[in-house]
């Protein structure tokens, strides 16, 4: 597992995470530091990365019905970080019903962020439990924690290659010259410094969720805006669309709770709705760039994304810097074009090894990207550009604005015809041009693979195709490409709904095209063939009963054109849908290639406390622990996150877990991550041994035959093995004895005041602890005291 989404920086070249607003967002900046006046913020530039999916907007890819839940989200790889003491609650109507529900969880409505969504304050540590209780109330449509989103990037490398490699200079010098003039890019981030020399006069609108003047106190938003649209004036750095207008949307800020730059979903949602605008008014921007991410799936955030897409806004987001198959949000939402990272290698291109994968649509430059700086914050690290000292950064935070800038160039080329289309058709064409003309990174035949999606974005190819009605463009639309052959708690197979979209080069969808589907081994699908509908797509449902390998789904047209989709199939190991864990301690191995979790079934009784600890991990290994309620039916389902009962919060150390349950029933202990781990687990079962007493309670072991020893008695409620430990006032064990297996009933042993070496102990008070255990991992203790007088 790739670790705590709320850690600012991890050992080795890992991404720094930055919190944003009510939810958690990751800025993809890599292992250096950001100078914040006198304060250093771990992670260098903060850029948010999220793994997303290429999904059509419009009639064929609208909002998901409320009872249809996405599968194989993978967002439970970590305990998603939340804004402390806040939940988001959507109610059909305000009133006493909502007030009553909020009061029942000791909460208070702080503010409304629109569309019936309220930010509710609750006691810290109770965010998940309060959300679950509120969601069950009839006055509430849904409730969820205010997940925290953050940003991250890495330093090093050369400059300028990204803008060149997406072929932006060739489009600037073409006929007509494409510069993005008049196209508006909304940078939803930490704000944009409008007076920066490379952006001067280009920031046309501003929004600040905190009403602080919109200053970029993290430096990340300005750096992202520069990659997308810095002015090409012969000085400084040039962005992909050097004459596009910037709409600055500040939702990220320095968070004292997390010590990093970030924000919660509430602020991100406000920013999206501000850009999209309510009702019939035109959006304030044509393109949204979100270089932010976090592992928690949020219904309210997805609704905001879907609304913006329905208004004709193309949404581009970073896929994340986890280097794993597990996805982040908002990039993984259906109506987001998610961008992974690529790097240069031997004169060509390669996947950037820290880029998240599993739901990537396209890749763009992510390593060694020159970025512009603010006066107060340094984003990135030193590099040299054209012999001049510059600052460079790595991360999918900077891959995303390459694509947003390219979209602006294409938008400017076809502004009149795009303006005449329905909003959802406008977005679909842009997606077809960008994804349908991408260059395959990992060789032929062309395919949509796990790491690079449709491939590397190419400006010239997209521009040429957009003028060619005889060209055929094929793209896959699928929410993630991770398929679990089971619902972990039920053994029911999961399915993956996959759509092939067919259009001509101009992006006009083609109906009534015959599509034939074929799959590799270990997979089934239905139907095997279909005609494209009026929205230009044919759909099949893929199922798999095998794990630990990749499955390929191929869609072919009658004219021989085809496109492959590579699907990652999780391994179904012996611990699914949950077996009793081996005797403690035990070791097992997890890896991101075929098996990244183990699920163990525990039957607990009211009042019992389960303990679990992970150890033995190497410096690049990470395994986290969850405990799922008995009501959880599918731990892949984002609507059933790992929850503690009552108000018990997870500890900061995710390798340790402790929970006292309030009812009888099954719980699921879930180890998730990557590495060879050693797990110790036990269940404290109170009352299995009780009524301990020492007679006499004071002994004088001087050999006179009077009170030389004490008789210790106790009652055993169930048969088990017994141990006796006697400790002095300092807690040191002076005498121990293993009594072996004892039957139910009253039991006794004696102590003569001597230690394990047979010597008399010093005078003082001693605690006698009786330890009971059985083969099911349960333990129980009771104790009494003895005074020794010398």
Active site residue 23: no
The sign of the torsion formed by the CA atoms of 210, 211, 212, 217 equals: positive
| The predicted structure's pLDDT at residue 686 | 93
Q: Global pTM?
A: 0.71
Catalytic residue among 220, 402, 414, 771: 220
Tens digit of each residue's pLDDT (9 = 90 or more) over 406-433: 999 999 999 999 999 999 999 999 999 9
| The predicted structure's pLDDT at residue 775 | 87
pLDDT above 70 for 274: yes
| The predicted structure's pLDDT at residue 750 | 96
pLDDT band at 80 (very low <50, low <70, confident <90, very high): low
Q: For residue 591, give Cα distances in angstroms to 142, 522, 571, 602, 615.
A: 35, 21, 10, 24, 16
Tens digit of each residue's pLDDT (9 = 90 or more) over 193-234: 999 999 999 999 999 999 888 888 889 999 999 999 998 765
Active site residue 397: yes
pLDDT above 60 for 49: no
- Tokens representing 130? 């309060």
What is the average pLDDT value for the chain, to the nearest integer? Answer: 80
Of 50, 42, 47, the closest CA to residue 10 belongs to: 42
pLDDT above 50 for 667: yes
pLDDT above 70 for 57: no
pLDDT band at 76 (very low <50, low <70, confident <90, very high): very low
| The predicted structure's pLDDT at residue 61 | 30
- CB-based contact 538:532 (threshold 8 Å): yes
Q: b/e per residue, 389-404, with b = 16+ CB within 10 A?
A: ebbbbbbbbbbbbbbb
pLDDT above 80 for 3: no
Q: b/e per residue, 148-157, with b = 16+ CB within 10 A?
A: bbbbbbbbbb
Of 112, 142, 147, 111, the closest CA to residue 127 belongs to: 147
pLDDT above 50 for 157: no
Catalytic residue among 53, 300, 397, 636: 397
Higher-confidence residue of 17 and 532: namely 532
d(CA 377, CA 767): 58
Tens digit of each residue's pLDDT (9 = 90 or more) over 92-127: 877 888 999 999 999 999 999 888 999 999 998 888
d(CA 431, CA 425): 10
What residues does 390 pair with on adjacent strands?
383
Give the chain's largest Cα–Cα span: 112
Q: Are strands 245-250 and 184-189 parallel, antiparallel or unpaired?
A: parallel
Mean pLDDT, residues 750-772: 97
- Tokens representing 225? 């805006």
- Give the range among 13-22, 74-83, 527-536 with minimum mean pLDDT: 13-22
pLDDT band at 79 (very low <50, low <70, confident <90, very high): low
First-to-last alpha carbon distance for the chain, in angstroms, is: 57
d(CA 674, CA 664): 32
d(CA 360, CA 364): 11
d(CA 317, CA 249): 15
- Nearest 10 degrees: Cα torsion 392, 394, 395, 396: 70
pLDDT band at 302 (very low <50, low <70, confident <90, very high): very high
Tens digit of each residue's pLDDT (9 = 90 or more) over 443-457: 545 678 878 889 999
pLDDT band at 148 (very low <50, low <70, confident <90, very high): confident
| The predicted structure's pLDDT at residue 623 | 83
Mean pLDDT, residues 356-363: 85
Helix H or strand E segment including 435: helix 423-436
Matching residue, tokens 């015809």? 417
| The predicted structure's pLDDT at residue 442 | 64
Helices 396-413 and 220-229 sit at what angle, rounded to 10 degrees? 40
- CB-based contact 644:693 (threshold 8 Å): no
Mean pLDDT, residues 155-168: 65
- CB-based contact 727:736 (threshold 8 Å): no
| The predicted structure's pLDDT at residue 298 | 87
- CB-based contact 571:483 (threshold 8 Å): no
| The predicted structure's pLDDT at residue 468 | 93
| The predicted structure's pLDDT at residue 72 | 27
| The predicted structure's pLDDT at residue 571 | 52
d(CA 177, CA 529): 43
| The predicted structure's pLDDT at residue 482 | 61
The domains found in the chain, sorted by start residue, are 1-467 (3.40.50.200), 472-569 (2.60.40.10), 586-684 (2.60.120.380), 689-788 (2.60.40.4070)
Tens digit of each residue's pLDDT (9 = 90 or more) over 670-727: 787 778 999 999 999 999 999 999 999 999 999 888 899 999 999 999 999 999 999 9
Of 371, 328, 366, the closest CA to residue 350 belongs to: 366
Mean pLDDT, residues 263-287: 93
pLDDT above 90 for 645: no
- Tokens representing 598? 């183990």
Mean pLDDT, residues 502-514: 95
Tens digit of each residue's pLDDT (9 = 90 or more) over 448-483: 887 888 999 999 999 999 999 999 999 998 866 665
């Amino acid at each position: 597992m790739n670790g705590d989404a709320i850690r600012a920086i991890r050992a080795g070249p890992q991404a720094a995470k930055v919190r944003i607003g009510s939810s958690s967002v990751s800025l993809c900046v890599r292992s250096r530091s950001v100078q914040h006046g006198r304060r250093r913020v771990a992670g260098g530039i903060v850029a948010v990365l999220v793994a997303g999916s290429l999904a059509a907007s419009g009639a064929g890819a609208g909002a998901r019905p409320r009872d249809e839940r996405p599968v194989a989200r993978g967002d439970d790889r970590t305990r998603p970080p939340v804004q402390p003491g806040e939940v988001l609650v959507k109610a059909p109507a305000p009133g006493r019903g909502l007030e009553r529900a909020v009061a029942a969880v000791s909460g208070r409505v702080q503010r409304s962020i629109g569309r019936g969504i309220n930010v509710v304050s609750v006691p810290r540590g109770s965010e998940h439990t309060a959300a679950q209780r509120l969601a069950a109330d009839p006055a509430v449509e849904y409730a969820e924690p205010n997940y925290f989103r953050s940003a991250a990037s890495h330093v090093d490398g050369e400059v300028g290659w990204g803008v060149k490699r997406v072929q932006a200079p060739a489009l600037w010098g073409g006929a007509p010259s494409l510069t993005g003039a008049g196209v508006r890019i909304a940078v939803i981030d930490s704000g944009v410094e409008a007076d920066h020399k490379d952006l001067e006069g280009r920031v046309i609108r501003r929004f600040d969720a905190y009403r602080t003047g919109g200053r970029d106190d993290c430096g990340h938003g300005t750096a992202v805006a520069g990659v997308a649209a810095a002015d090409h004036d012969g000085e400084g750095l040039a962005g992909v669309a050097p004459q596009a207008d910037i709409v600055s949307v500040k939702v990220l800020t320095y968070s004292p709770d997390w010590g990093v730059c970030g924000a919660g979903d509430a602020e991100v949602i406000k920013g999206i709705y501000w850009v999209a605008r309510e009702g019939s008014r035109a959006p304030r921007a044509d393109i949204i760039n979100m270089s932010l991410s976090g592992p928690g799936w949020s219904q309210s955030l997805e609704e905001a994304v879907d609304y913006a897409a329905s208004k004709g806004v193309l949404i581009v987001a970073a896929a994340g810097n986890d280097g794993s198959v597990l996805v982040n949000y908002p990039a993984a939402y259906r109506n987001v074009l998610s961008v992974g990272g690529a790097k240069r290698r031997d004169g060509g291109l390669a996947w950037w090894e820290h880029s998240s994968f599993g739901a990537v649509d396209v890749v763009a430059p992510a390593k060694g990207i020159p970025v512009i700086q603010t006066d107060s914050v340094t984003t990135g690290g030193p590099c040299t550009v054209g012999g001049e000292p510059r600052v460079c950064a790595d991360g999918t935070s900077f891959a995303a604005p390459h694509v947003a800038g390219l979209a602006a160039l294409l938008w400017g080329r076809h502004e009149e015809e795009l303006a005449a289309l329905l909003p959802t058709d406008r977005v679909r064409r842009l997606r077809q041009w960008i994804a349908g003309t991408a260059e395959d990174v990992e060789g032929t035949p062309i395919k949509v693979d796990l790491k690079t999606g449709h491939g590397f974005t190419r400006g010239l190819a997209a521009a040429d195709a957009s003028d060619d009605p005889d060209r055929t463009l094929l793209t896959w639309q699928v929410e993630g490409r991770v398929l679990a052959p089971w619902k972990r708690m039920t053994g029911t197979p999961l399915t993956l709904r996959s759509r092939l979209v067919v259009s001509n080069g101009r992006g006009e969808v083609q109906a009534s095209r015959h599509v034939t589907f074929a799959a590799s081994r270990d997979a089934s699908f239905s139907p095997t063939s279909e005609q494209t509908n009026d929205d230009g797509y044919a759909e099949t449902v893929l199922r798999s009963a095998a794990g630990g390998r990749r499955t390929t789904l191929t869609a072919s047209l009658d004219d021989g054109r085809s496109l492959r989709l590579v699907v990652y199939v999780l391994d179904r190991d012996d611990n699914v849908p949950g077996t009793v864990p081996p005797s403690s301690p035990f070791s097992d191995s997890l890896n991101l290639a075929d098996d990244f979790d183990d699920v163990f079934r525990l039957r607990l009784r009211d009042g019992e406390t389960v303990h679990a600890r992970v150890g033995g991990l190497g410096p690049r290994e990470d395994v986290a622990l969850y405990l799922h309620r008995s009501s959880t039916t599918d731990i892949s389902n984002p609507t059933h996150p790992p929850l503690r009962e009552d108000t018990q919060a997870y500890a900061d150390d995710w390798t340790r877990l402790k929970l006292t349950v309030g009812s009888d029933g099954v719980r699921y202990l879930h180890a998730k991550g990557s590495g060879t781990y050693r797990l110790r687990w036990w269940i404290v079962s109170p009352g299995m041994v009780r009524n301990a007493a020492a007679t006499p309670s004071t002994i004088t072991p001087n050999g006179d035959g009077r009170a030389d020893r004490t008789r210790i008695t106790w009652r055993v409620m169930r048969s088990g093995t017994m141990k006796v430990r006697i400790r002095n006032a300092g807690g040191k064990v002076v005498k121990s004895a293993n009594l072996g297996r004892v039957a139910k009933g009253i039991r006794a042993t004696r102590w003569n005041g001597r230690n394990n070496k047979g010597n008399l102990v010093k005078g003082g008070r001693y605690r006698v602890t009786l330890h009971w255990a059985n083969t099911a991992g349960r333990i129980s203790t009771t104790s009494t005291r003895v005074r020794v007088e010398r």
